[in-house]
């Protein structure tokens, strides 16, 4: 039994609260906090509509996640066993600072990035290692799906099937249709910053860059079909190169439809994806933030979403029998089924469920440590078991 403070009331926060509420023997009290408390109240009401008894265990609060002093005050008042951060990546460090000040464990789903630069890496958070260790508390980074489950898939492959993993391709496919001409499946500002920067992959000890979305291949995704996938940089590669034995190359791929890419090119060409401020009628505005305000809220996409996601890892290496092996482990998630269960589309669901499971691993003591960790540093087996139980069943096969 443990108390969890969840920070962030977007699409992923919605899923995390629902999934935590489903496991009362682990999550005895839930406090959901964000800048806009009405969003928190709406999520609480959506949980009560599914399970009236859960309402007594959920409370809400207003907090500015950029303000560590406010966070410290809220943590000291609620006294959680764990802070689960599903706010914006800009706010990771302020929340980690608050956890350090109060001596509370921390978990997030995406690594830190600064507001004024479209760049993300783990260095800022890894630099907290000594401070968290000295405080005797644990920070678990990147516990969504990718990063998160994809790291766990690799750790599972290494534990169960491979003596050496030489090649990894992480492949993320959304084969769904939300019915909008253009929309992003999570925070538009974060999403567009991510996919418009240069691609990057690791090979033979070096990071190699590519022009944005310039490298692409087709792949036949289970239960979705053949889709074009594009090479991108994604943060889980940065930690996996440190923890996979024998690795020679790792790449990350994501699928995009031609209509999406056409809209994106037009928005870039007219300057709407810029992250620097421009003067508009005497006011300083950031074009990408304005674009975010006019695009559909990702949390509202689930109503009419049809189709499935397929996310997994294609692994090559030396198997336990000493022979070369090619192995694929993946999850397929149905948008409509996610909406039926928790009122969410599958992209939020596939991030929120692993965040809940990671919190469960920490609160039950199955994953313990002092310092800053990525998920693949822990035993993947109990996590893989919980994925099958809590809505993200996985399939593995040798090719």
Shortest CA distance to 20 belongs to which of 366, 383, 397, 360?
A: 360
The stretch 55-71 carries a mean pLDDT of 95
**pLDDT grade for 20, boundaries at 50, 70 and 90:** very high
25 and 103 co-located in one domain: yes
Q: How does the average pLDDT of the chain come out, rounded?
A: 93
Return the higher-pLDDT residue of 292 and 130. 130
Region of poorest pLDDT, from 81-95, 179-193, 303-317: 179-193
Return the higher-pLDDT residue of 153 and 114. 153
pTM for the full predicted model: 0.93
Contact 138, 371 (CB under 8 A): yes
**pLDDT grade for 346, boundaries at 50, 70 and 90:** very high
Does residue 127 carry a pLDDT above 90?
yes
User: Over pLDDT 70: what percentage of the chain?
Assistant: 97
Beta strand 249-255 with 162-174: parallel, antiparallel or unpaired?
Answer: parallel
Distance in angstroms between the alpha carbons of the first and the last residue of the chain: 42
The stretch 66-79 carries a mean pLDDT of 97
212 and 329 co-located in one domain: yes
111 and 180 co-located in one domain: no
pLDDT at 218: 97
**Is the residue at 383 inside a domain?**
no
Range of the domain at 25: 2-141
The stretch 106-135 carries a mean pLDDT of 89
197-238 tens-digit pLDDT: 899 999 999 999 999 999 999 999 999 999 999 999 999 999
Return the higher-pLDDT residue of 197 and 28. 28
292 and 155 co-located in one domain: yes
The stretch 137-144 carries a mean pLDDT of 98
81 and 186 co-located in one domain: no
**CB-based burial, 319-345: b 16+ in 10 Å, e otherwise:** beeeeebebbbbbbbbbbebbebbbbb
Here the CATH number for the domain that contains residue 237 is 3.30.360.10
Domain boundary among 321, 344, 367: 344
Total tally of structural domains belonging to the chain: 2
Contact 212, 199 (CB under 8 A): yes
**Is the residue at 316 inside a domain?**
yes
Domain boundary among 141, 157, 176: 141
**Is the residue at 107 inside a domain?**
yes
**Is the residue at 115 inside a domain?**
yes
**Is the residue at 359 inside a domain?**
no
Torsion of CA 237, 8, 116, 230, to 10 degrees: 40
20 and 103 co-located in one domain: yes
pLDDT at 264: 76
**pLDDT grade for 169, boundaries at 50, 70 and 90:** very high
The stretch 84-108 carries a mean pLDDT of 96
Return the higher-pLDDT residue of 84 and 287. 84
246 and 331 co-located in one domain: yes
Does residue 302 carry a pLDDT above 70?
no
Region of poorest pLDDT, from 64-78, 177-191, 239-253: 177-191
59 and 200 co-located in one domain: no
**pLDDT grade for 118, boundaries at 50, 70 and 90:** low
Shortest CA distance to 239 belongs to which of 334, 146, 130, 128?
A: 146
**Is the residue at 398 inside a domain?**
no
123 and 170 co-located in one domain: no
196 and 324 co-located in one domain: yes
pLDDT at 186: 63
288 and 155 co-located in one domain: yes
Region of poorest pLDDT, from 75-84, 128-137, 257-266, 276-285: 257-266
Count Cβ atoms within 10 A of the Cβ of residue 301 and give its class: 0-12 exposed, 13-18 middle, 19 or more buried. Answer: buried
The stretch 67-91 carries a mean pLDDT of 96
Does residue 267 carry a pLDDT above 80?
no
Contact 153, 313 (CB under 8 A): yes
Three-state SS annotation for the chain: CEEEEEECCCHHHHHHHHHHHCCCCCEEEEEEEECCHHHHHHHHHHHHHHCHHHHHHEEEEECCCCCHHHHHHHHHHHCCCEEEECCCHHHHHHHHHHHHHHCCEEEECCCCCCCCCCCCCCHHHHCCHHHHHHHCCEEEECCECCCEHHHHHHHHHHHHCEEEEEEEEEEEEECCECCCCCCCCCCHHHHHHHHHCCEEEEECCEEEEECCCCCEEEEEECCCEEEEEEEECCCHHHHHHHHCCCCCEEEEEEECCHHHHHHHHHHHHCCCCCCCCEEECCEEECHHHHHHHHCCCHHHHHHHCECEEEEEEEEEEEECCCCEEEEEEEEEEEHHHHHHHHCCCHHHHHHHHHHHHHHHHHHCCCCCCCEEEEHHHCCCHHHHHHHHHCCCCEEEEEC
The stretch 119-145 carries a mean pLDDT of 95
Does residue 324 carry a pLDDT above 80?
yes
Here the CATH number for the domain that contains residue 58 is 3.40.50.720
103 and 27 co-located in one domain: yes
**Is the residue at 159 inside a domain?**
yes
Does residue 185 carry a pLDDT above 80?
no
Domain boundary among 98, 123, 141: 141
User: Over pLDDT 90: what percentage of the chain?
Assistant: 76
**Is the residue at 368 inside a domain?**
no
């Amino acid at each position: 039994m443990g108390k969890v403070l969840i920070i962030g009331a977007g699409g992923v926060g919605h899923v995390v609260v629902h999934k935590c509420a489903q496991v009362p023997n682990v999550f005895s009290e839930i406090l959901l906090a964000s800048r806009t408390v009405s969003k928190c109240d709406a999520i609480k009401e959506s949980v009560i509509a599914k399970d009236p008894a859960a309402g007594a265990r959920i409370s809400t609060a207003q907090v500015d996640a950029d303000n560590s002093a406010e966070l410290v005050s809220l943590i000291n008042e609620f006294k959680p066993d764990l802070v689960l951060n599903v706010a914006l990546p800009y706010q990771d460090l302020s929340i980690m600072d608050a956890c350090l000040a109060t001596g509370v464990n921390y978990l997030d789903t995406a690594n830190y990035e600064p507001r004024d630069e479209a760049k993300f890496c783990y260095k800022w958070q890894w630099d907290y290692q000594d401070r968290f260790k000295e405080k005797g508390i644990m920070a678990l980074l990147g516990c969504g799906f990718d990063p998160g489950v994809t790291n766990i898939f690799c750790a599972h492959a290494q534990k169960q099937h491979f003596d050496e993993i030489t090649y990894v391709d992480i492949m993320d496919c959304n084969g769904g249709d939300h019915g909008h001409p253009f929309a992003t499946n999570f925070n538009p500002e974060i999403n567009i910053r991510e996919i418009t920067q240069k691609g990057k992959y690791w090979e033979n000890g070096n990071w190699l860059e590519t022009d944005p979305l310039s490298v692409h291949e087709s792949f036949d995704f289970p239960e979705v079909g053949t889709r074009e996938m594009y090479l991108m940089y994604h943060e889980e590669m940065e930690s996996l190169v440190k923890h996979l034995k024998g690795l020679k190359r790792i790449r990350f791929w994501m699928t995009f439809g031609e209509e999406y890419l056409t809209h994106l090119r037009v928005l870039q060409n007219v300057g709407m994806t810029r992250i620097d401020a421009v003067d508009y009628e005497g006011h300083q505005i950031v074009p990408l933030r304005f674009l975010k305000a006019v695009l559909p809220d990702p949390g509202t996409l689930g109503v009419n979403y049809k189709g499935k996601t397929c996310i997994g890892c294609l692994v090559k290496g030396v198997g336990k029998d000493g022979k070369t092996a090619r192995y694929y482990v993946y999850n397929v998630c149905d948008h409509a089924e996610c909406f039926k269960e928790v009122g969410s589309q599958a992209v939020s669901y596939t991030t929120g469920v692993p965040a809940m499971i990671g919190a469960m691993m920490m609160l039950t003591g199955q994953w313990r440590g002092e310092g800053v960790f990525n998920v693949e540093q822990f035993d993947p087996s109990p996590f893989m078991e919980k994925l099958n139980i809590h809505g993200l069943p996985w399939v593995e096969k040798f090719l």
